[in-house]
Amino acid sequence: MSRRIITLLAAFVAVLGLTVLVPSTASAAACAAAWNSSSVYTGGMTASHNGRNWQAKWWTQNETPGSAEVWADQGACGGGGGNPNPDPSGFVVSEAQFNQMFPNRNSFYSYSGLTAAMSAYPAFAKTGSDTVRKQEAAAFLANVAHETGGLVHIVEQNTANYPHYCDWSQSYGCPAGQAAYYGRGPIQLSWNFNYKAAGDALGIDLLGNPWRVERESAVAWKTGLWYWNTQSGPGTMTGHNAMVNQAGFGHSIRSINGSLECDGKNPAQVQSRVNNYQRFTQILGVPTGGNLYC
């Protein structure tokens, strides 16, 4: 029913002394991630509490929105349970939260590409409690953020490394060329044997055509999820198992680059990953859990 007809109808029934209920066209804003008493919020970060969105004016922790001056009321919100997300994948990170995590990301790393890729590994961010699922998503994205400079770089920036990623001892060699297996994608897939293994697992010929990882968003995301869900690297468990079994974020770092970063080898790099994880869990409204370092 158009607003003009509703207005005329209301005027008519008013003459008759009746009451008409005019439907509202306004809708509440989507709720931000639910406020968490153990999370740290800095100025500008948002959280939802008791059906309203709140924005932190400055650093705060364990100060309840609505009862502390640090929080500015942003108005009523509704729906989404703190995670407004119409995507049919059911990913625990909404597109709005994804964009908040990666404000300067390369458009190649699309949210739709990520959610499409998740069909290859249905256990990812869908195992355990809601908190565990969000912690796993935050952990994966935190490592990805570090590997790509905030989802900016699609390929490895040090071109001098390119010819070194061909292991000729493998029977299949390097059919795409000696310098073709450089780092690409969200976890910077590199080496001919990793392209072969990822391609075999995903049903894609990445050994013969590694360039697909830098040209197709869903393929790139799939290689990242392949490593996260199936590869322990220099660690003792996959990133997926580290998070769903609550071994801690530190074990995910070890599985990705532990031989170069863990055990005191490069604490600044480890801290960068931890900082990302802490920020992303804040956005999702969940605690970080223990064992953050490796």
User: In the chain, where does the domain assigned CATH 1.10.530.10 lie?
Assistant: 87-287
The pLDDT score that the predictor gives to residue 11 is 45
In this predicted structure, the answer to whether residue 224 has a pLDDT above a threshold of 80 is yes
Predicted TM-score of the model (pTM): 0.72
Whether CATH 3.90.1150.10 fits 87-287: no
Q: Distance (Å, rounded) from C-alpha 171 to C-alpha 261?
A: 31
Instruction: Report how far apart, in Å, the C-alpha atoms of 277 and of each of 24, 134, 260, 282 are.
Output: 41, 11, 19, 9
Q: Which of 30-44, 75-89, 220-234 has the highest mean pLDDT?
A: 220-234
Closest C-alpha to 256, from 139, 114, 111, 152: 139
Average pLDDT over residues 159-181: 97
- Contact between residue 158 and residue 289 where contact means Cβ atoms under 8 Å apart: no
User: Mind listing the pLDDT tens digit for each residue in 14-56?
Assistant: 434 443 333 333 456 778 877 766 567 778 788 887 678 888 8
In this predicted structure, the answer to whether residue 3 has a pLDDT above a threshold of 50 is no
155: which 2 tokens?
């390929």
CA dihedral 76, 80, 84, 89 (to 10 degrees): -170
Provide CB contacts within 8 A for 48, sequence distance 6+: 31, 32, 33, 34, 35, 54, 77, 82
In this predicted structure, the answer to whether residue 87 has a pLDDT above a threshold of 80 is no
Topology, domain 29-86? Seminal Fluid Protein  PDC-109 (Domain B) (2.10.10)
Mean pLDDT value across the chain: 86
The pLDDT score that the predictor gives to residue 210 is 98
Q: Distance (Å, rounded) from C-alpha 205 to C-alpha 199?
A: 5
User: In the chain, where does the domain assigned CATH 2.10.10.20 lie?
Assistant: 29-86
Closest C-alpha to 118, from 149, 158, 91, 143: 91
Residues with catalytic roles: 147
Average pLDDT over residues 97-123: 95
